[in-house]
A and B are shown apart, each in its own frame.
Chain A
Amino acid sequence: MGIKSPLITLMPNKTFFWFFLPTGLAMILFIGLPIISTGIQSFYAQHDQVVKEVKKCDPFGCTVSIVVDQEKTSKIREEKPLGKFNGFGTYVDRNHLAIEEIGKFWNETNSFGEFVDQVTNLPFYKALIFTLTYCLFVTPNVLLLGFIIALSLNAVTRRIRGPLIFGTILPMIVTPLVGSLVLFWMIDAEGIIGANLQMLMDDPYLSLKSSKTLTWITIIIYGIWHHSPFAFVVFYAALQTVPQEPVEAAIIDGASRWQRVRHIVLPHIYPVVTFVALISLMDNFRVFEPIIGFSAEGSAQSLSWLIYDNLVNEEVILFGSAAATSMMTIIGIAILLAPVLIRTWKEFRTAR
Chain B
Amino acid sequence: MEYGLDKRSNALKIFNTTFIIVWLLVACFPFIWTFWGSFKVRADFFSRADWWYAITAFNTLLETGGKFTTDAYSQAWTEGEFWKASRNTVIVTFFVVTISLFLGTLGAYALSRSTRNYAFWILIAALIFRAMPHITLVSGYLFPFFQLQIWGILPTTIVVLVAINQPFTLWLLYSFFKTVPKELDESALIDGCSYFQAFRHIIMPVMWPGVITAGLFSLMLAYNDFTVTALLLNQENHTMVPKIQSYLGTNQHEGNLMWAVSAVVSATAPLFMLVMFFQRQVISGLTAGAVKG
Interface residues in chain A, defined as those with a beta carbon under 8 Å from any beta carbon in chain B? 4, 8-13, 15-16, 19-20, 22-24, 26-27, 29-38, 41, 81-82, 148-149, 152-156, 158, 162, 164-171, 173-178, 181-183, 185-186, 188, 190-192, 195-196, 225, 229-230, 233-234, 236-239, 241-242, 244, 247-248, 251-252, 257, 271-272, 275-276, 282, 285-286, 288-289, 292, 295, 303-304, 307-308, 310-312, 317, 319, 322-323, 326-327, 329-330, 333, 336-337, 341, 344, 348
A-B contact pairs, 9 of them (CB 8 A): A26-B166, A27-B125, A27-B129, A30-B159, A41-B143, A168-B27, A181-B248, A247-B3, A308-B227
Contact B107 A19 (CB under 8 A): yes
Chain A residues near B267: list those with CB within 8 A: 178
Contact B241 A155 (CB under 8 A): no
Is B28 an interface residue when CB atoms closer than 8 A count as contact? Answer: yes
Chain B residues near A295: list those with CB within 8 A: 248
Given contacts A168-B24, A181-B264, A289-B226, A251 and B287 within 8 Å (CB-CB): no
Contact B135 A308 (CB under 8 A): yes
Interchain CA distance A252-B7 in the complex, whole Å? 11
Contact A175 B224 (CB under 8 A): yes
CB of A341, distance to nearest CB on chain B (Å) = 7
Is B5 an interface residue when CB atoms closer than 8 A count as contact? Answer: yes
Interface residues in chain B, defined as those with a beta carbon under 8 Å from any beta carbon in chain A? 1-3, 5-6, 8, 12, 16, 19-20, 23-24, 26-28, 30-31, 33-34, 37, 45-48, 50-51, 54, 102-104, 106-107, 109-111, 113-116, 119-120, 122, 124-144, 146-147, 159-160, 162-164, 166-167, 170, 182, 186, 189-190, 195, 199, 220, 223-227, 231, 241, 244-245, 248, 260-261, 264, 267-268, 271-272, 275-276, 279, 282-284, 286-287, 289-291, 293
- Choose among B114, B129, B287, B290 the residue with the greatest number of A CB atoms under 10 Å from its CB: B290
Contact A155 B8 (CB under 8 A): yes
Closest residue of chain A to B146 (Cβ to Cβ) is A81
CB of B117, distance to nearest CB on chain A (Å) = 8
CB of A298, distance to nearest CB on chain B (Å) = 15
CB of B288, distance to nearest CB on chain A (Å) = 9
Given contacts A10-B114, A37-B144, A181-B244, A148 and B19 within 8 Å (CB-CB): yes
